[in-house]
Amino acid sequence: MSTASAPAARLPSVPRFEFGEAIGAGGAGTVYRARDREYGRPVAIKVLRTPLDAAPTLHQRLAREFRAATQLEHPNIVRALDAGNDGTVSYLVFELIEGVSLGERIEKRGRLRELDAVRVATQIAQALHYAHLRNVIHRDVKPDNILLLSDGRAKLTDFGLAKDHNSDQDLTRHAGALGTPNFMAPEQFADARSVGPAPTCTRWPRPCTPRSPGGCRSRPRPRSPRWSKRRKRARRCGRSCPS
C-alpha cells in the first residue's frame, strides 16, 4: 500500500474509533492512523472505497475472510483485529506498525543488498507458511504489503483479500480477479478461488513478464564468478540466519 498522496475518504461513523491522518492508500481503500477508545491503543484502519450498498456480497466476503485472518498470531504478520461497517462504509482494523513498506524502501533507496533481501524473503516465507498451515491464503502479497521495522524485522500486512479454506461458504465466486495486477499469479486473473500457497514474484520490484512495464531482457546478463560466490553465501544465510 502506497504512503504517497493518500486521498480523502468518507470515514465510518463508529464511536469506538478516533480517526487521525491518512497514512496510506491502495486500490481497495485508504488506511488511517486511529485510536481504539475501547482498548486505549493505536490502530490502523483501512476504509474500503466501494460503498456497502454498491457491492453487499463483496463486503460480506471481505468481512468474513478478514475475520478468518484474525486467528493468525506470528511475529512476521501484522495482526488483523476486527472488521465492521456503519451501514454504509466498511472498514478493517489492524495493529499499527511504525515502519516503512518494502515498496517505498526500494523506490527511495534502490534495491536491497542480497543478504538483506534474503532475510526479508525468509521472514515473509515463514509468515506465509504459518498462514497456509491454517488454511489462510493472502492473495495480495507485494512489496507495498511488506513492512520493514527498524529492528530488522519484516511484517506481512493487509490480509483484506485473505482466502479462508476452512469456510464452507463460497462467496469468492463473486470476487473475479482480486489482487494487484503486477504481482498476481496468472490463474488469479481468471478466478480468485484458484489461488493457492505458491511462490510469488514479490521478491522483485516488478514481476518479470513481457507485459510488465520494462519487461525482461531477451537473454540473461553474464554473471561473474564473484557474483556466484555471493549468491552461494546468500543461500547459506537463508538456511541458517535467524529471521
Domain map (residue ranges) of the chain: 17-95, 100-232
Q: What are residue 156's DSSP bridge partners? A: 77, 146
Least confident of 51-55, 197-201, 228-232: 197-201
The C-alpha angle with vertex 166 and arms to 201 and 43, in degrees rounded to 5, equals 65
- Residue 137 pLDDT > 60: yes
d(CA 35, CA 139): 28
Whether 100-232 and 17-95 are alike in CATH topology: the answer is: no
Long-range contacts of the stretch 227-232 (C-beta < 8 A, 24+): 230/114, 231/114
Least confident of 63-72, 129-138, 159-168: 159-168
Distance in angstroms between the alpha carbons of the first and the last residue of the chain? 23
d(CA 184, CA 34): 30
Tell me the backbone φ, ψ of residue 113, rounded to 5 degrees.
Answer: -65, 155
Whether CATH 3.30.200.20 fits 17-95: yes
d(CA 190, CA 194): 8
Q: What is the pLDDT of residues 3-62, one digit of tens each?
A: 545 455 689 999 999 999 999 887 778 999 999 999 999 999 989 888 888 888 878 777
Is pTM beyond 0.75? Reply is no
Q: Which CATH superfamily is domain 100-232 in?
A: Transferase(Phosphotransferase) domain 1 (1.10.510.10)
d(CA 98, CA 84): 24
C-alpha cell at 7: 486521498
The confidence score (pLDDT) of residue 221 equals 53
Instruction: Give me the active site residues, please.
Output: 140
Q: What is the pLDDT of residues 138-188, one digit of tens each?
A: 877 889 889 999 999 999 987 755 554 454 443 333 334 445 555 555 544
Tell me the one-letter amino acid at 57: T
d(CA 229, CA 227): 5
Judge whether 120 and 74 are in contact, CB under 8 Å.
Answer: no
d(CA 13, CA 47): 11
Place of cell 531477451: 218
Q: What are residue 25's DSSP bridge partners? A: 2, 30
